[in-house]
Amino acid sequence: FPMHNGYNSTLTLLNEMKLVSVPEMNYFAQPQKTNENKDNEEELNKQNTSSSQTQVVFRPAGEACFRGPCIFSGYWKNPELTAETIDSEGWLHTGDIGEVDPTHNNYLRIIDRKKNIFKMNQGEYIQPEQVEQSYGDNCPAVQQIYVYGSPFYSKLVAVVVPNEEVILKLIEKGDLKIDRNEVEHKEGEQQSSSATKQTTGQQFISDIIEYSTKLKKPSTQKDKSSSSKQSDPLDLLIKYYLSEFDRILTELKLPHFQRLFGLIIEPEAWSVENGFFSPTQKLKRFMLRSRYEKELEGMLDALGNMDK
């Protein structure tokens, strides 16, 4: 692509440049039309495009890579990091997602990051996958977890998809003080020991959220008096997870800034089918951020106000 002024970082001056598609983030350097989307022209047109009255302009996008005599040769005494950054053909992979705009002299704009490291407002760097692995691998009650933070906040929060089978066993053993019968009871339904089908774990997590919502919004005075005597099962579930994560933080001697301060409980597991995993089974972090960011940042705002 023709370049003007150019792009540079502390590691490179202007040389050869190319964009490498990052399909798991839906960024493509060339127009895509696969079996998965051939019947969905609308979705195809959304890939790096902008429309005018008469035409659709494809905007190449992907990881910005550079090669040339001015590219640095590698990290000092760190061949592993060098191999991660510079490929066998000499291309420096910046980790930046760039987009070339054909309607504005093919200028390159940096629009996203491929590497998921982020900096918190106290200066600490977080590798979210590493934090997720620490908590997810050491808490059997976690099926999936997504950790979120921002340069504007000093705390981490997360979205947790519970392992429903483990949660039900914890309740049966009395390790999690949630009244299953109360949560599963639906107003107006007859409860019969033989005819009632036992709630599945996935449905049970949804029932917890629904029941918690009803407790927080009593509609009658009678509801208010009864709800005041009941524990919120969603609060109990969140407190259980936060307690487990604090235990893991201590046992693994993780840095204090990797502590989780708030959670969203998500009853539906993330998958390729619902768009949160790529076909190569990689978590689509940008999709999760888009789905949960508003709620998570609201939680971080509330946590910040609690400190004041």
Region 130-138: what's the mean pLDDT? 96
Where do you find CATH 2.30.38.10 in the chain? 16-113
The pLDDT tens digits of the residues spanning 81-99 come to 899 899 999 999 998 889 9
Q: Give the whole-angstrom CA distance, residue 201 versus residue 231.
A: 20
Q: Give the whole-angstrom CA distance, residue 308 versus residue 296.
A: 19
Task: Say which CATH architecture domain 118-307 belongs to.
Answer: 2-Layer Sandwich (3.30)
- What integer pLDDT is reported at residue 22 of this predicted model? 87
Q: What are the strands, taking DSSP E only, across 85-155? A: 92-101, 107-113, 118-119, 125-126, 142-148
Residue 145 contacts residue 163 (beta carbons within 8 Å) = no
Average pLDDT, the chain: 82
Whole-model pTM above 0.75? no
* 72 vs 11, residue with greater confidence: 72
Q: Which residues of 75-98 are buried (b: 16+ CB within 10 A; e: fewer)?
A: eeeeeeeeeebbeeeebbbbbbbb
Task: Say which CATH architecture domain 16-113 belongs to.
Answer: Roll (2.30)
Where do you find CATH 3.30.300.30 in the chain? 118-307
Q: Which of 20-34, 131-145, 162-176, 232-246 has the lowest mean pLDDT?
A: 20-34
Residue 292 contacts residue 146 (beta carbons within 8 Å) = yes
3-class secondary-structure state, position 209:
helix
- What integer pLDDT is reported at residue 2 of this predicted model? 45
Q: Give the whole-angstrom CA distance, residue 282 versus residue 210.
A: 30
The pair of three-digit structure tokens given for residue 181, joined into one six-digit string:
């019968």
Give 119's strand partners: 125
3-class secondary-structure state, position 101:
strand
- Which pLDDT band, with edges at 50, 70 and 90, does 44 fall under? very low
